[in-house]
Structure formats: structure tokens, C-alpha cells
Structure 1
Amino acid sequence: MRPDRKALVLTTTINGRPALRTPDGRSVVLALTDEALTPAESVGARSHSLLSIGVTKPLRSGGEEMLARVLDELLPALVPDTEPVPAVDTDGMMPYVSTPPAPRGGIVDLPIPTQTLQLCTAMRENLGLQPPRYTDSTKVYVGSCQATRTGGREDASVGIHYRFETETFPDTVAGRPAKLGKDSVTVLLRDDAWCTVKIKAADAVPLAERLVPVLLGG
């Protein structure tokens, strides 16, 4: 699995999903969402979810068929029938709809707009944080949630991010690997995914200690 901002160039389909197959048949990239056929910037998301699978040695007889069979069996588990992804406008905003976090850390497997709604719901309904004054509480920005504890200006910002391969997490917050910064903390939500939540606030660590278990517990 890997994120990408570019539009996938379609050359074939596998199990009904758009796919790009290299001429030698040794590598296949599949779009896990239809939005991957459009540049990420135009759909209000940071990146698309793409599945890459390939072999490093020349394929033996029947190797391409084996590759296709693996994909046919794997894709239904990765792309189940679910609710439609929330619509995002040209400003990168979407309507706020109460969306409880998915169980067992499932938030990391969802499209960024759905992750955002689950994040904002956890902040509003579980932590009691409210949108800053003078903002439209009926909308949220894709990928982040702003909040206030004073009823006035923003004093906390929380966002969904994807870690770099070389990024390390030397600290521990809420029982998870984390990286502390100046008035911020980044927490790796699950060991098998590169999805992190970054909290910016004067009390970022205590806020993370409350928020992360909600996001992972569902």
C-alpha cells in the first residue's frame, strides 16, 4: 500500500478496479478508490490509496496468472462495499456529519475525508471540544479539525497525516509510538500503517492521551 497524489494512468482493470500493468507484467498498481483517476489536489485530499504488487525475479510459466489470482482474492478484502466517500468542495471542505470512529483502529484504512469526520466527531462528542468562534460549524476541512476550549479563537488543531518512511517515533504517548515537538505531538496510530495523528496545542500530550484511545477503540 502506498499514497500518491498523481492521477493513475489506466491500462486495464482487475476485479473491476482501475489498474496500471507494466509491459513486462511483473508489476501492477491498482486504484483502491475511483478518485485515484484524478489528481489528488482536485478532489480535496492529500493522496490516493494505491496498491502495488510485483515480483523482483523473472516470472516463470503461469506467473502472470498467479499474480492476477492473488489480486482477485485480495481486492475484495481491501475494497469492500461501504458508504460513499463524503463530497469535498473546491475549497477542500465538506459537511460535518457525526461519524463515530471505526472499531479496532479501522480509521487508518479509510479515505481521508471519512478519517476527518471520525476525528472531528471524536473531538466534539468525546472530548467536548468545539469549533472556533466565527467558523462555520457545519463544515470541516479535509484532513484536519480545529477546536477551542474557551469558546473563542482556535487553541487546538488536530490533523491526519502519513509518515515518511524515514520518520521515527522515539517517544510514547497513549501507549503508542510518538514524536514530541514544541507544543505538538505526532502519534503513530497503528504499527501496520503509516497513518499518524498530529496534535498542535499548548497541552498537546494530555489531549493526545484522551484522543488516541477514542480513535483506536471505536
Structure 2
Amino acid sequence: MTNDGQVASPWAEAEITESSDKNLRKVPRTSGEYFTYSSAETAAQTICHTMTPQRWSELLHGPVRREIYGSSTNLACLVTSNRMRIELATQDLDPSGWRSYIGTPSRDIQHAGRPGRVSTSMEAPFRADGYVTLVDDSSAANRNALTFRVTAGSLATMDRPSAFTDLVDDVLTGVIEPLAKPSSPMPAVTGELGLMGYVPTPPAPRGGVVDVPYPLSAQQLCTAAVAALGVDPATLTIAPHHDGQCRITNGADVAVSLWLRPNVNRAEFTETIAGRPVKPARDKLREVWLRDDVPASLWVNWFSGGDSTPFIEKLVPLLLAG
């Protein structure tokens, strides 16, 4: 990780002599609408795992390195070989504004039944930029499109001029087919700002809540928070939202909101609560680094009386249990 909080890229590193991974971890497989509500880091992990290292090596003509890189708000899957580089990420994209994301001229494409566009440059370095929409719906909470950039420093390993565009098509097919599979229906929105009805949902074991799509992580955070508050749920207004936020209040002395977001700046977490690193308080806000292996933090905005520390001390073990 670099000093400015970026995960380093291998683009200028030594020659890749054997396939390897960096910053990769196993995550639950999701697809369709549920996948588009994954955090940027979880989505990047999922993308990197859509094909085996062997298949990536076949497509990129040699050993590859798969890794997660970027900033907290723009994490991507990066796959590199000695001649090629592929960047894949999810993004909230309005297809009507595609010109701001890729160059011109461009052409329509379709993979696994999903539409997109690509702009290809056949002058060295050879490059293809574009996107494919994974679901028809786009909201402020989900990342509905897969964006990509494929760069080749040399086409020496390719036997015909169309080989580069064929390779781009093969990569997109291998990535998009598993991601575009329909998911089960999302929880229904019942109010403004993506509000859903509260359904008590135990948190995924061992901090697995960090990889759960936002609508489900909101339900899990609400469930753990109610238990940590130790009050009768019937006295509370419990509001899980599609963007992963949980808001709880009783209209009097209890008011708290919490959510999970990617974060690669571990060095800022200089204090400890419940055995986990936390950032120094900013007014009513505390951030907790929930798992050592995941660049994500739990945000707790505490509007109730007193300090939030006792609440966090009860909440964190509930999220990490199992």
C-alpha cells in the first residue's frame, strides 16, 4: 500500500514469471442485482474470481497477476501479464452518459445478453475501453455497470489483426456470464431513500457482513444494533435502507445510524475498542476496522446521550461471532 492510501499497481514491477495473486481473498459468489449492491472491494474480488488463474493465463498469453488495487472509493480488479493489463470495476453508470466514460468512435456490444459499448484503439499501446450494464435498474445505491480497460503493449503473440478485439470479447464473456445471472428478488423498498421493512436477520458469521450486498447488510446491522442497545425492539423505529445504512431511533434518547464502506487507510485507526482498531472520534462519528483481511470500516454515528464506546463494545462482538 502506498503512502497516499492507494493499493499499489504492478504495472512497472519486474517481469511476471509465474501466476500469482495479491490482496485477493475468497468472497461469497453473487450475481445479478445482488452483485450490483456489493461494495466496490467485494465486487472487485468477485470479478477477479470469475475465471481461474489458468484461464486468465490462456487469455493473456502467459503468467498473470490478479490483484485488487485503487482508492477506497474506486477499487478494481487488475489482471496483468508481461504484455497486457486488464482493469475491471463496477460503477453507477447512466448509459445515456456513456461518452464521459469511454472514447469515440465506439460500437455497441452485447455479452450474456447484457448491452454495452466499447471504444478500441489499434495504435500502440493497443487499448479497449468500455462498459456493460449488468442490470437494467440504476439507483444511487447500486453499481449497475461493469467498466473495463484492456491494454496491450505488444501484439506479438497474436496471429491476426482481429486477435486483440477477439481477446477483449473473450475476457468480457468469461467475466460477465457469471455476473449477469439473475439473482433472487431484492427486498422491496417501502419508503423514501430506499427504506425497507425491517426483517430481523442474524449477521453473517465471523464478520461476513462486510461482503453481504447492501440491502442485506443493512438488515444484519440493524439486528445486531438492536441487540447491542438492549431495549425492546417494539419501542424503536428501525429503518434499514437499500444503500446499506441502518437507522434506529425511539424518538427520545436513542438515535444511531451505522453502515459499512470500503477503506484502505488503515494507518488512521490509532485507537482500540472491543479489540478492534478505531479512528479518533469526529463529533458523533466513530469508524471501526472490523476485519484484518478486509479494507472496510464500520461507521457508527451516535446521536444518543453519552459516549458511543459502550454500544460499540457490545456491537462488534455480535458482528464477529461465529
TM range (shorter): 0.5 to 0.7
Q: What fraction of aligned residue pairs are identical, expressed as a percent? A: 32
TM-score for the superposition, normalised by structure 1: 0.67
Query: RMSD of the TM alignment (CA)?
Result: 3.8
Tell me how far apart the structure 1 counterparts of residues 311 and 113 of structure 2 sit (CA, whole Å): 42
Aligned amino acid, residue 201 of structure 2: T
Q: State the match for 1:146 in structure 2.
A: 247
What runs of 5+ residues in structure 2 fail to find an aligned partner? 1-43, 45-73, 75-89, 99-107, 122-126
Q: State the match for 2:280 in structure 1.
A: 180
- 1:26 alignment partner, SS class: strand
Contact 1:188 1:195 in 2 (8 A): yes
Q: 1:217 to 1:165 in 2, by over 3 A?
A: same
Aligned amino acid, residue 188 of structure 2: A
Shift of 1:185: 1.0
Q: State the match for 1:7 in structure 2.
A: 94
TM-score for the superposition, normalised by structure 2: 0.50
Shift of 1:203: 3.2
Shift of 1:116: 0.9
Shift of 1:91: 0.7
Q: State the match for 2:268 in structure 1.
A: 169
- Check if 1:160 corresponds to 2:259: yes
Q: State the match for 1:209 in structure 2.
A: 313
Aligned amino acid, residue 278 of structure 2: A
Aligned amino acid, residue 179 of structure 1: K
- 2:246 alignment partner, SS class: strand
Q: 1:131 to 1:89 in 2, by over 3 A?
A: same
Task: Give the alignment partner of residue 143 of structure 2, picking from 48, 52, 56.
Answer: 48
Shift of 1:122: 1.8
Shift of 1:88: 1.9
Q: 1:206 to 1:125 in 2, by over 3 A?
A: closer
Task: Give the alignment partner of residue 114 of structure 1, picking from 216, 225, 242.
Answer: 216
Tell me how far apart the structure 2 counterparts of residues 173 and 80 of structure 1 sit (CA, whole Å): 40
After the TM superposition, which residues 22-101 of structure 1 pair with which residues of structure 2 at under 5 Å, given as runs? Answer: 22-24=119-121, 26-35=128-137, 38-40=138-140, 45=141, 47-48=142-143, 50-58=145-153, 60=155, 61=158, 62-75=163-176, 82-89=183-190, 91-92=192-193, 93-101=195-203
Shift of 1:173: 3.9
Shift of 1:99: 2.2
Q: 1:206 to 1:111 in 2, by over 3 A?
A: same
Contact 1:26 1:59 in 2 (8 A): no
Tell me how far apart the structure 2 counterparts of residues 76 and 39 of structure 1 sit (CA, whole Å): 22
Q: Larger radius of gyration, structure 1 or 2? A: 2
